[in-house]
Amino acid sequence: MRVLCLGGNGHMGREAVRTLLREPKVQRLTVTDLDGQAASRFVASLGDERAQALGLDIRNEGALKDALSAHDMALNTTGPFYRFGVPILRAAIETGTTYLDVCDDVEPTLEILQHDRLARSTGGRAIIGMGASPGVTNLAAKELVQQLDETEEIITAWAEGGGDPGDFGPAVIEHTFHIITGQALTFRNGRQTRIRPYRERVVVPFPPPIGPLRIGHVAHPEPLTLPYAVPGLRTCSNLGGHLPMSDMRLILLLGRAIDLRLLDIRRAARILLRLGAWESRRGTIRPPAGGIYVAAIGKRGGRRVAAVIRGSSNRPELTMPTTTGGPLALAALHLIDGAEIPPGVHPPEAVLDRQTLVSLARRYGLTDLAEAMDTPVEWIEEPRGVLDPSGRVPG
């Protein structure tokens, strides 16, 4: 199996690369970066002759297609996806390269899904949004829905932050501003609707060490894809926040300036990156922290209940790149191991399940990641909806 890792020298990509190289069936793995020398330095650090570097400008359609054509599978961690997701997916379909990504933006998700018919007509296969959120959150929601007789509401939420501020590149920061500005597409009363991000904030009961956080709605793919997998679903939400919450307040302040057209997203990202670099020079490095919360509310045995999967960690082994790039690589390894998926463009819940990825994580020695993904299901009687602005949530 020949695997191309687009953006493989980025923080998410490096985690995917290291995981993929645990599998002997990966015969060649190509790491791309706009800076070919930087990719070469990372490849040299791996000490694996199967890995090779490639300087690639993904905006060069011809060079991109040449790289894709030389590989059986491509993993895309090149962001922000609202700029680069669609053209890379289209090129992968045209070259017949199996495609996986961690797309976490709304607009490209909608446009990528519109390529499903083209992919099916050519036999192309793609799994999109296979990171932590979206990704693990989708699979957790699928598992919970399967344990209910009827599902009326799904809540997905995430929180992340800490670590060295210098570890986050422009793509991550631009994405952050993109999902908290303008309007967010969500799912209420059985249909898609638009709301202003963070206008409504609710308390989400993440377990320790993070604990409950008051966070708001953001523009994320889960409310776009999960309703298609759950008949009768009335509401589907995604909420998110960056830690510590003092950082989130600064992000929201800059986001407000973007909405007022005092800044554009790229300039706001540069401001935040400069502040992060200043903190790094001062040695202000906080422990990484992250968590997910997924709830499915409905009926079981005639009673209204909520099934919940939630987890959080501040362990240095579980950074955002690990919990995003790791699941992406595990999904790829599932296919490399012989799993069949039908032609088409698929969100994670259509072709994968949580326990398969947990088993693969254990198989490849990713114990920390396996434990983070394998949190137990909690049952709550007489749940209250997370959309109540008073902050009431299940649990």
Backbone angles phi, psi at 195, to 5 degrees: -135, 165
The tens digit of pLDDT for each residue in 277-305 reads 555 555 555 667 899 999 999 999 999 99
The helices-and-strands tally (H runs, E runs) of the chain is 15, 16
As a whole number, the mean pLDDT across the chain is 91
Please check the confidence at residue 88 and state whether its pLDDT lies above 90. Answer: yes
Name the β-bridge partners of 357: none
Q: CATH 3.10.20.600: does it fit domain 136-317+373-381?
A: no
The pLDDT of residue 288: 73
DSSP string, 17-63: HHHHTT-TT--EEEEEESSHHHHHHHHHHHT-TTEEEEE--TT-HHH
Question: 258 with 271: CB under 8 angstroms?
Answer: no
pTM: 0.93
Residue 364 makes CB contacts below 8 A (sequence gap 6+) with: 19, 22, 23, 330, 333
Query: Per-domain residue ranges for the chain?
Result: 2-131+322-356, 136-317+373-381
Burial class (CB in 10 A: 0-12, 13-18, 19+), 229: middle
Could you tell me the two tokens for 362? 């254990």
Q: Cis omega (within 30 of 0) on the bond before 80?
A: yes
Domains 2-131+322-356 and 136-317+373-381 share a fold: no
Domain 2-131+322-356 sits in which CATH superfamily? Answer: NAD(P)-binding Rossmann-like Domain (3.40.50.720)
The tens digit of pLDDT for each residue in 171-221 reads 888 999 999 999 999 999 999 999 999 998 888 999 999 999 999 999 999
Question: 160 with 243: CB under 8 angstroms?
Answer: yes
The pLDDT of residue 90: 96
The pLDDT of residue 320: 86
- pLDDT category at 163 given cuts 50, 70, 90 is low
The tens digit of pLDDT for each residue in 5-44 reads 999 999 899 999 999 999 999 999 999 999 999 999 999 9
The tens digit of pLDDT for each residue in 231-260 reads 999 999 999 999 888 889 999 999 999 999
The pLDDT of residue 389: 43
